[in-house]
Amino acid sequence: MQKLLKVLLAMVITTMGLSLFTGLAAAEVKLLKGQTYYVPCSTSYISGGYSFNIKATILIHNADPNNSINLVRIDFYNSSGKLVEKYLQQPLKLDALAATRISVKEPLAGEEGMAAHFIIQWQSEAKVVEPLIEGLFIGTSGTHGYSWTLQPRIIQEVAN
């Protein structure tokens, strides 16, 4: 009886695992004409009374294999929501499967940089696979190294 229970349990776990992976692989691809992202971008870290600057980089990948996209807005804000810098003076075209990176030019210290963020907007004439945007953060303090990644939040979409 105990052997039968182990076999049944193994079958249930295997079935659940296959269902999970099948669901992930079969996720629907969104085709869009534009999006606006809120991208958290901390440029300072405070721990145990110590504060240090973080090297912040935003990676933008055009995931569409056939069409280009245009980055039309990359704006950097401090923790209070005040615009610090506009990174684009004109749209930046990303060809199919191309990528670019944006590095924070002047890290904000202390509280101003703790919750700094970017607003990034892209557009396309054709419906395209939504791009992949991620933040990469690296810092050191003495002999300690810190690194992490963050995903953006979509705050607006253009489907048609």
Question: Tokens in use for 123?
Answer: 């557009």
Provide the pLDDT for residue 37: 96
The answer to whether residue 7 sits within a structural domain is no
Task: Measure the CA–CA gap between 67 and 14, rounded to whole angstroms.
Answer: 39
Are 135 and 56 a contacting pair, CB within 8 Å?
yes
The answer to whether residue 36 sits within a structural domain is yes
Question: Tokens in use for 86?
Answer: 């506009």
Helix (H) or strand (E) holding 26: none
The answer to whether residue 19 sits within a structural domain is no
The answer to whether residue 2 sits within a structural domain is no
Q: In the 8-state DSSP scheme, what is residue 122? A: E
**pLDDT by residue (tens digit) across 94-104?**
999 999 999 98
The answer to whether residue 5 sits within a structural domain is no
The answer to whether residue 57 sits within a structural domain is yes
The parts of the chain modelled with pLDDT lower than 70 are: 1-27, 45-47, 50-51
